Structure 1
Amino acid sequence: MKLTILGGSSPFTASFFRHAAAPQRPLSEFDTVVLQGRDEQTLERLAHHGRALLGGRRPYVSHELDLDTALREADVVLIQVRFGGTQWRLEVEHACRSRGLFADETLGVGGLATALHCRDKWRELGQRISDVCPRAQVVNMVNPLSLSCQYFGETCSRLAGLCEGPLQAVHDVAGALDCGPEALDWRYTGLNHRGFLHSLRYNGHDVDMNHVVEVSPRLAELYDPKLQAIVSKEWWTGQARERWTYGRATAVASVRARLRDDLLDRRILTREVLELRPTPWYSLAILPFLAAWSGRTGAWVSTTNVLADGLTVERRSVVTRCQNSLIPDDYPTKDVGRIVDALTLHERRCLEAIDHPSRLAVEEALSLDPTIGYFNVELAAEAVSQLCPL
């Protein structure tokens, strides 16, 4: 089996190999991993880093600048390309911060502006993947995840968008109950970064959430007793203006530069340096998916961003060898359902604004966003127009 990682020259790819070198050997069914990107020096160092961490065991790690060569005969394509680079993320945050708006690359102004900026690039890459390796399983990590999946999904028939957020919440509940996550029965409904973990059961009984929130400070913040659900951290943050923070884009760019400099100096990055930015998406979502899909492990229950009725939604799925199947009858509670209906309407208006951009369409989409507790639509539309002239 061949795994191709697009955006493989990101210094954070070093963390992928750190987790891949775990005793469980999640990648051992793959023969090769090909890192594809634009920075040949960093690609070469990352491939060396990966081979060193894997200790000569499968898979063999190589690098490639040419996109078509990297994609040829790939069984799985992992997309982690940062379209526009860190500079775009900095510009988005500045446009939001200067107007006192919620700043996030996945939601609100940042999510819509990024989709407008990247739509054609997403379509072009999706077409290239479809042309060169049409049967490949495509795993997408590109934010805003639900919107990027929408456009990759136009041509990539086997597409799964992965995010660790819901799985992190499941692991946190399991930790509070002192059990493994596989022992829990749970439901999850929503759109990426705007989802709700609900209907939790353990040993045939409803989970006592009062006990869970007493044990876990993190879940005490995210649990909404009115909804009877654990909300995503992005939903929780967006709902109250006092929770908003700025500077994340600058911090990520700084860590990225530090990792690249150290990689070029040392060839191998230390655990201390890698932990400057935690990367739970690799350990909780990407590598377990690859292990189950390749047959290294048994069936694995996760959440996947997939197209359903013309819209990308985040639903539970079960991953087995070469298959990723949605789990049926994943119904929300009544209160969660009302919010998801509002989110769905907002997402559809965003897609209309992206495909037919105008100031009016952008304002309408932003006005319907239930995620952000405080929203000046005029200022938000102004920020989008500054980033992507309409």
Structure 2
Amino acid sequence: MRLAVVGGGSTYTPELIDGFARLRDVLPVDELVLVDPAADRLELVGGLARRILARQGHPGRIVLTGDLDAGVEGADAVLLQLRVGGQDARREDETWPLECGCVGQETTGAGGLAKALRTVPVVLDIAERVRRRSPHAWIVDFTNPVGIVTRALLTAGHRAVGLCNVAIGFQRRFAALLDADPAGVSLDHVGLNHLTWERGVRLGGTDVLPKLIAEHGDTLADALRLPRTLLERLGVVPSYYLRYYYRHDEAVREQREGTSRAAEVAGIERRLLEMYADPALDRKPELLSRRGGAYYSEAAVALTASLLGRHGTGTGTGIVAGGGPGGGEDVQVVNVLNHGTLPFLPDDAVIEVPAAVGPHGARPLPVRPLEPLYAGLVAQVTAYEQLALEAALKGGRDRVFEALLCHPLVGQIDRAEQLTDSLLAHNRHHLAWA
């Protein structure tokens, strides 16, 4: 089995390698290709990757290359973890929206749109090259904004599934609070990427979400930085990204007064690369846990294994228990085409829900009707994502303005005009049409 990781020079890659090593029975990888144009970073990350595999006795081979075409040649699956513009672009995405009184965040609001505009053309070019070199390969997209990027890939007819770590993070957190095996915990997870709610948590066939909120409401609320009373009134656990909607002005104030997440991550990355250069280091360092993307490796292994036909492994690495040997499918929370699952959205919208995953791809499972309190916001953000994708594919100042005007975190003419000018000024060298 040959897998390729595009963006393999990321400081986060050792987490992924650790997952491949630990879960070798789930996904037996013979050759793992790390693809990245940054040769110096790739050598540091690749060296640690080899040492991690050797320490855990994994027989797989690590290949390092800056040649994308060679890297994806013959791959069974290609994992995308890109950041077009690097941490410098992220720092700008988190900064200039604040000048307009809007949240500065790399996956939602104006900053999220900037990231989408930079990222979609690059990802589509990569996907076309994958299609030419390995037409049967699956593309697993972890590149943000996952919903928009996955919609671009699927609209273009690629064999792709979007993946986010929010659901598996909740599953593991809930399991720890319940002192339960994560494999036995399943979620009623619904919404869009970075706009989701946990409406149920099932353990042994029983919905234990009311118990979790009653007994651990303070812990959950503190992690989300939302009031416990909100969880109790709604009876759900929102994604922590909902804080940008439910407490937007407070988030803006804190961002203006504090250090940006981009600056924090940049500092972590510098220290990690220094650690990776140590030839004695042969495991992922504890500092990596502060980098973000918790449990991505487990989710990525489970999803890739299901797409490549290794279903029903019984390892508990998926977000919902597998379908079992011979079942042909596992159930995992992924980003997938709507196809009527949420009837108020277009069929070609990309939603984040439990889906049956197998060699055919991902098929969303039925969900109970979404309550108006959530459906209204989901519908508006879906409309924004459609406009954002059109702007990414076709360019043009007017399309950027319309996407911003549609976004519920912007929604005012003057703000949308100013944000459009700022977005274009900060991203001209990334946008061929600007």
Give yes or no for TM over 0.5. yes
The answer (yes or no) to whether the contact 1:237–1:243 under 8 Å persists in 2 is yes
The answer to whether the 8 A contact 1:134-1:156 is kept is no
What is the alpha-carbon distance in structure 1 between the residues aligned to residue 119 and residue 146 of structure 2? Answer: 12
Q: Tell me the amino acid that sits aligned with residue 419 of structure 2.
A: A
User: 1:160-219: CA deviations, max 9, x gaps?
Assistant: 111010221222223333323333343222111011221333334332525435325342
For 1:187 and 1:90, the matched residues in 2 are separated by 34
Change (3 A) 1:351 1:42: closer
CA contact (8 A) 1:127 1:156 kept: no
1:228 aligned partner: 235
TM-fit CA distance, 1:13: 1.0
**Aligned: 1:318 with 2:356:** yes
Residue of structure 1 in register with 2:92 after alignment: 91
Q: Give matches, 1:41-190, under 5 Å.
A: 41-55=40-54, 56-155=57-156, 157-190=158-191
TM superposition score normalised by structure 2: 0.80
Change (3 A) 1:235 1:374: farther
Aligned Cα RMSD in Å? 2.8
Mean CA deviation greater in 124-133 or 372-381:
372-381
Q: Tell me how far 1:372 sits from its aligned partner.
A: 6.9
Unmatched runs of 5 consecutive residues or more in structure 1: none
Tell me if the contact between 1:31 and 1:58 (Cα under 8 Å) persists in the aligned partners: yes
1:277 maps to which residue? 291
Q: Which segment is superposed worse, 126-135 or 377-386?
A: 377-386
Cα distance, 1:54 vs structure 2: 1.8
Is 1:256–2:269 an aligned residue pair? yes
Equivalent in the alignment of 2:5: 5
| Corresponding residue SS for 2:421 | helix
Residue 333 of structure 2 corresponds to: 303
CA contact (8 A) 2:356 2:363 kept: yes
Q: Say if 2:301 is the partner of 1:287.
A: yes
Query: Judging changes above 3 Å, is the alpha-carbon distance between structure 1 residues 208 and 131 closer, same or farther for their aligned structure 2 residues?
Result: closer
Tell me if the contact between 1:186 and 1:199 (Cα under 8 Å) persists in the aligned partners. yes
By how many angstroms is 1:2 displaced?
Answer: 0.4
Q: In structure 2, what is the equivalent of residue 334 of structure 1? A: 371
Q: Is the 8 A contact 1:259 1:273 kept in 2?
A: yes
- Cα distance 1:44–1:139, how it changes in 2: closer, same or farther (>3 A)? same
Distance 1:69 1:172, change over 3 A: same
Per mean C-alpha deviation after superposition, the further-off stretch among 255-264 and 274-283 is: 274-283
Question: 3-state SS of the aligned residue for 1:53?
Answer: helix
Length-normalised TM-score, structure 1: 0.88
Matched residue SS, 2:191: strand
Deviation by residue 1:19-49 (Cα, 9 ceiling, x = unmatched): 3333x43565111101111123332333332
Higher mean C-alpha displacement, 343-352 vs 109-118 = 343-352
Q: 1:382 aligns with which of 417, 421, 424?
A: 421
> Please, which moves more after superposition, 62-71 or 304-313?
304-313
CA displacement 1:128-162 (0-9 Å, x = unmatched)? 11111111011111111111122233445320111
Distance 1:158 1:213, change over 3 A: farther
The separation in 2 between residues aligned to 1:231 and 1:374, in whole angstroms, is 26
Contact kept, 8 Å, 1:194 with 1:371, in 2: the verdict is no
Tell me how far apart the structure 1 counterparts of residues 390 and 233 of structure 2 sit (CA, whole Å). Answer: 32
**Residue identity matched to 2:17:** F
Residues 274 and 181 (structure 1), Cα distance of their counterparts in 2 relative to 1, 3 Å cut:
closer
Contact 1:19 1:283 in 2 (8 A): yes
Partner of 2:344: none
Residues paired across the two proteins, number: 388
Distance in 2, matches of 1:189 and 1:341, equals 13
Counterpart residue identity of residue 243, structure 2: W
Aligned to 1:14: 14
In structure 2, what residue type is equivalent to 1:59?
A: G
Give the 5 Å matches for 1:235-246.
235-240=242-247, 241-244=249-252, 245=255, 246=259
- Flag the 1:89–1:176 CA change in 2: closer, same or farther, 3 A: same
**Is the 2:175–2:182 Cα contact (8 Å) retained in structure 1?**
yes
CA displacement at 1:73 relative to structure 2: 0.6
Cα distance in 2 for partners of 1:205, 1:90 equals 44
